Amino acid sequence: MTTYDKWSCLERAQSILSKGGDSLLRYACLELRFCMEAITYEKLNAYSGYVPTKVFKKWQPNHALKMLLQFEPHADEEFSLCISPEPELAKPTGNWTTIGEHRAFKLSWLNKNYNRLGSYLHMPQNSNSFDEDVEDSSKIRKELQEIATELVRILDGDISSMTLATRVQFKCQACDQISVVHESVLRETHHATCIYPECGAEYHVIEEDRGNWQFKMKAICFKCPNCGTNNWLESHKLDIGTKFKCRSCAEMYQIISGEWRYEQESKIKTIS
């Protein structure tokens, strides 16, 4: 299991914020981003046994946390883990002992602040230096201190990486690779996404019997005008400018406009 030195990143950032000049703030931004990455990737370690390392390496932290929520829907929530003697199965005595506390940032917080830190790593327009505007530098320093304070609170938790997940694996119809999703996520959302960043195919999921899941890829049928072959295009790829080719005659096409239409429900086809 990989160990991530979260505290060292945070301590270097704190040192810069307390002692460094404005021109060093960009380095504090880097260290804070490293700390966020370390926290997120450490959580993913709990899934390293069945999610390939090559997948983790392609994920940015915000995408990684989004995917983590597919494995563990409460990964960005805070909780205390307690145990109690249980003389009979499922009948605890009520004498609870706390063995750890899980602290986490929400996906929305990570998206906002990770991107904000990244924006400070670029040279401001119409400026020759990072610390040219003292007022802006003071504002940035305050924002970085607030982020650092939140990261300290999170790192003070006892539980950083664990899972009690009931996992469901499925073979992606688009890329033929094995993906994984938490069973409770399927029951709550009836939705799953391929974990491979270069794919990202989306699925509508139905539980036909208890624990028997059917994954239907979200896609539309396109009939090639050139040869008449039916082609399926994944819904998440439907965007102006998207290019694709017919699987039979290899004729290339490009989406140049979008429109809505309706069909009799009995005639709507799905991928099985």
DSSP 179-212: EEEEHHHHHHH-EEE-S-TTT--EEEEEEEETTE
Give 25 or 64, the one with higher predicted confidence: 25
Is the CB of residue 31 less than 8 Å from the CB of residue 16? yes
Domain ranges of the chain: 6-155, 167-217, 219-267
Cα–Cα distance, 141 to 261 (Å, whole number): 52
**Confidence at 117, pLDDT banded by 50, 70, 90:** very high
Q: Which tokens is 17 given?
A: 């914020």
**Residue 15 pLDDT > 90:** yes
Cα–Cα distance, 55 to 59 (Å, whole number): 7
Instruction: Report the pLDDT value the prediction gives residue 164, as an integer from 0 to 100.
Output: 66
Instruction: Report the pLDDT value the prediction gives residue 272, as an integer from 0 to 100.
Output: 43
Its pTM stands at: 0.70
- Compute the Cα dihedral for 51, 71, 62, 161 and give only its sign: negative
Instruction: Report the pLDDT value the prediction gives residue 116, as an integer from 0 to 100.
Output: 94
Instruction: Report the pLDDT value the prediction gives residue 215, as an integer from 0 to 100.
Output: 95
Domain 219-267, CATH: 2.20.28
**Confidence at 1, pLDDT banded by 50, 70, 90:** very low
Instruction: Report the pLDDT value the prediction gives residue 135, as an integer from 0 to 100.
Output: 60
Helices marked H in 47-106 — which ranges? 53-57, 61-71
